[in-house]
Structure 1
Amino acid sequence: MERKLFHEDIQLFNEISSDLKEMKPMLQNLKSAYEALNIGAFTNRELKDLTASVSIILAKNKFLKELNGQLDDMNVKSNIIREKMILDHMHLIEELEQAIAALKSFVPKDIKQRISERQVHLKAKNVSFENGTFTISDDDKENILETYCRFYLTSLEEQEFFDKVQNYVKAYADLKNHMIDNFYADNTNLRDLNVFIEIESDQHSSSFKPSEIKVNKSVIIGMIRRAMHRLDLKK
């Protein structure tokens, strides 16, 4: 069967999106480290490349190409001098590497301190740089929703399971309404309708067979008698 969207957790998306505020100083450090290399403007393309798995390789190669070009323009022929000048500038690459590492190891405080129960958080790859600011674009939002916030039914067995649960919930609601309308509700906690179920084997066992599930007739008889008594008193 074609997969069917079962649930989209918007609250989780909002919580993930809220991580951006805490991540922004790290993103700004990344931007500053990149701009210090003087290899071009920091754009959304650079951000996406830098947060990809091969990001530092791309940036390093671009930096070395630019630096070697500057040395050529300065007519520096000596390999010893060229290597020394390159080494003198490698701390800029190291600072960029550190900025990328910090972003990749980012964990929000509410998760780190176990204030929040959520297991997922914002990743730098799901942030964009638009109009001079870091933001979550429409494409980023779609990627976050699809990766973390959507659950799909992907098989006929899963669909059948969901249909049976829906039927159970509907029957539960119908029973609850009937109990309220006919004075049975005064006899039990409406949140616990398991009183109507009797298990033929050990009541405390979680491994009973479906065939052992029976209607607890004594409970129903008692509830009907008490409801009838209340009705008689109202006459």
Structure 2
Amino acid sequence: MDRTLIKQDNDLLKSICGDLRKFRATFAPVVEAFDQFEIGSITNDIFIDIIAGNHNTVIDNYRKSLSDHLDKTLVKNSTLKRIVLAGTEETIANFIRACSAFVNTDAAPSPYGLDKDRTMFLTAKRLSLIGGELCISDKTKEQLLESYCHLYVETEADHLIYTALLNMQASLEVPCLRWVCP
């Protein structure tokens, strides 16, 4: 039997995508902490590393860049280099804390209001960085629609029940049942 879409909940998709505001608020400190490294802007590859919790790649690039700068200044004293590198630990710790807060952002709505019963929330892993802007890609929106916002009848029994409900509705001349009609 064919799979038939009977409802697409665009309000749910809009609500899930609305979680992006919470992530943008927690992503700003990540950008600020990364800017302290002075190694450029956050690229999509770096963003993927942040999402995966792989801070070491970014930190290693920062330390290498810093070491290269020290070599260019002709600092030969290894003790002085160690002191300078040790002074960067607070900057690194700030970056790690900001990344952790971003990745662990709780997108669940408050227990009050229209979204209080929603069970699907946006996660950092579903976000993209396009043109330096945090967003939800079209591909991810399609995945969210398919996974959480579409209601299908799939089996022959489902089709029979759905057809019977539509026939009953038509015979009773009642307005469209909210969960039945597309």
Q: TM-score range by the shorter chain?
A: 0.7 to 0.9
Assess if the C-alpha contact under 8 Å between 1:126 and 1:143 holds in 2: no
Match of 1:196 in 2: none
Separation in 2, partners of 1:53, 1:4: 39
SS at match of 2:21: helix
Assess if the C-alpha contact under 8 Å between 1:126 and 1:140 holds in 2: yes
Q: Which amino acid aligns with 2:126?
A: N
- Unmatched segments (≥5 aa) in structure 1: 154-158, 182-190, 192-235
| Deviation string, structure 1 residues 111-160 (Cα, Å, up to 9, x no partner) | xx32322222222233333345332222342444455546789xxxxx4x
Match of 1:95 in 2: 94
Superposition pairs of residues 91-130 of structure 1, within 5 angstroms: 91-108=90-107, 110=109, 113-115=110-112, 116-130=116-130
Query: Considering only aligned residues, what root-mean-square deviation do their CA atoms show, in Å?
Result: 3.2
Separation in 1, partners of 2:130, 2:41: 13
SS at match of 1:40: coil
Superposition pairs of residues 4-19 of structure 1, within 5 angstroms: 9-19=9-19
Aligned residues: 170
Separation in 2, partners of 1:8, 1:172: 18
TM-score (norm 1): 0.60
Q: Residues 53 and 150 of structure 1: is their aligned pair in 2 closer, same or farther, counting only changes over 3 Å? A: farther
Bigger radius of gyration, 1 or 2?
A: 1
Superposition pairs of residues 72-91 of structure 1, within 5 angstroms: 72-91=71-90
Q: Aligned-pair distance for 1:21?
A: 1.7
Higher RCO (CA < 8 A, seq sep 6+): 2
Separation in 2, partners of 1:173, 1:4: 17
Structure 1 or 2: larger helix share? Answer: 1
Q: What's the % identity of the aligned pairs?
A: 23
Match of 1:210 in 2: none
Separation in 1, partners of 2:94, 2:122: 23
Q: Which amino acid aligns with 1:67?
A: L
- Unmatched segments (≥5 aa) in structure 2: 178-182
Q: Residues 94 and 176 of structure 1: is their aligned pair in 2 closer, same or farther, counting only changes over 3 Å? A: closer
Match of 2:52 in 1: 52
